[in-house]
Amino acid sequence: MNQADMLIYVHPELDEPGRIALEKMVEGRAGVDCAEFDHRTHQHALMVRYDPDAIQGTQILDVVRRTDPAASMVGL
């Protein structure tokens, strides 16, 4: 399995229950190993670890955009 990381910025006003739900939604996708916000310092930055052979970064971004249409992917 290959691994890649990506960082997705969401609207900073997304509340904690919304962030937790978004983490679970993204982690529920095949090929995603981990999705988590740093709830203390960067509440708007979602770090995702995934297998690029199983799912594309743009597909993950599309899932996040269901919650925040203005979400954007940041290069690492």
Domain ranges of the chain: 4-74
43-60 tens-digit pLDDT:
899 999 999 999 999 999
Categorise residue 26: left if φ over 0, alpha if ψ from -120 to 50, beta otherwise.
alpha
Is pLDDT at 4 greater than 60 in this prediction? Answer: yes
26-35 tens-digit pLDDT:
999 999 999 9
6-22 tens-digit pLDDT:
999 999 889 999 999 99
- How is the beta sheet containing 72-74 ordered, strand by strand? 32-38, 42-50, 4-9, 72-74
CATH architecture of 4-74: 2-Layer Sandwich (3.30)
Q: Cα–Cα distances in Å, from 12 out to 3, 32, 36?
A: 27, 23, 15
